[in-house]
Amino acid sequence: MTEEKFNSKNFTKSTKTLKENAGVYHFGESEGEWDLVFLPYKDSLVIQVRNGTWAEDLGYEAWLRKCQTFNNVKIKDSKFYFGNYSGQFVEYNEGQTKTKAVILFSDPILSRNYKKDSAQVGFYLTTIDTFFDSKERYELSLEIKPESYFANKTKQELKILRNTVYANYGLIFQKDGDMDKHFSKKEWYQAWQKDVSTCLTEIEKRNITTLKKFEHQ
User: pLDDT (tens digit, 9 = 90+) per residue, 189-207?
Assistant: 999 999 999 999 999 999 9
Q: Which whole number is the average pLDDT over 49-76?
A: 83
Burial class of residue 144 in the structure, from the number of CB atoms within 10 Å of its CB (0-12 exposed, 13-18 middle, 19+ buried): middle
The answer on 100 and 141 residing in a single domain is no
Q: Which whole number is the average pLDDT over 155-159?
A: 97
The answer on 144 and 111 residing in a single domain is no
Domain hosting residue 90, numbered range:
1-131
The answer on 118 and 23 residing in a single domain is yes
The answer on 3 and 68 residing in a single domain is yes
**Phi and psi angles of residue 82, each rounded to the nearest 5 degrees, phi first:** -140, 120
Interior/surface letters 116-127, b for 16+ CB within 10 angstroms, e for the rest: eeebbbbebbee
Cα separation, 22 vs 56, in Å, equals 35
Domain count, the chain: 2
The answer on 161 and 67 residing in a single domain is no
The answer on 193 and 117 residing in a single domain is no
The answer on 98 and 43 residing in a single domain is yes
The predicted pLDDT at position 61 comes to: 64
The answer on 51 and 156 residing in a single domain is no
The predicted pLDDT at position 95 comes to: 83
The answer on 174 and 123 residing in a single domain is no
Cα separation, 132 vs 54, in Å, equals 23
